[in-house]
Amino acid sequence: MFRSLCLVLCCTLIAGCSGDIATADGTGGRLLEYKGGNIVLERTLTSDEAKDATNWLKEHGKNWSRDFVTYAPDVLAYLDHADGTSFGLYVFPQSVVFVSRGSQLKKKFAESETRKLVSLLGLGTES
């Protein structure tokens, strides 16, 4: 009986491992760029960059998958909101990881989409 209950619980958790992202408008934040595991750029995001990145996220907010891996990103943006909440975006050439309130979601993208996000964050497309 216990084994059956565990199996049902695990299947329920696995089935619920995807989601959509809804977030408030960004007001600012911090941007870090990494090369070879080292920070090569660290700066404050402008309110326009934060709003643009948040709008990009809203456009791509459906069908993210829960993720439990630890990453060393190419680009890391921490975005702040007027309501005091914040979230992180780990940007890679073909995926983005969203981290907020102990939850982590990941979604694969074409490189053109991640380059667009990196550009919205104020970095050149060579990143």
pTM for the structure as a whole:
0.78
What are the two backbone dihedrals, phi and then psi, of residue 62, each rounded to the nearest 5 degrees? -95, 150
Give the mean pLDDT of 44-65. 92
The SS3 call for residue 56 is helix
What are the two backbone dihedrals, phi and then psi, of residue 61, each rounded to the nearest 5 degrees? -80, -5
Give the mean pLDDT of 33-50. 92
Q: Let me know: does 64 contact 100? Beta carbons within 8 Å.
A: no
Predicted local distance difference test score (pLDDT) of residue 102: 83
The model's confidence at residue 18, banded by pLDDT at 50, 70 and 90, is low
Q: Let me know: does 117 contact 53? Beta carbons within 8 Å.
A: yes
- Dump pLDDT digits (tens) for 51-60: 999 899 989 9
Task: Tell whether the model's pLDDT for residue 20 goes beyond 90.
Answer: no
Element holding 32 (H helix, E strand): strand 26-35
Task: Tell whether the model's pLDDT for residue 47 goes beyond 50.
Answer: yes
Give the mean pLDDT of 79-85. 84
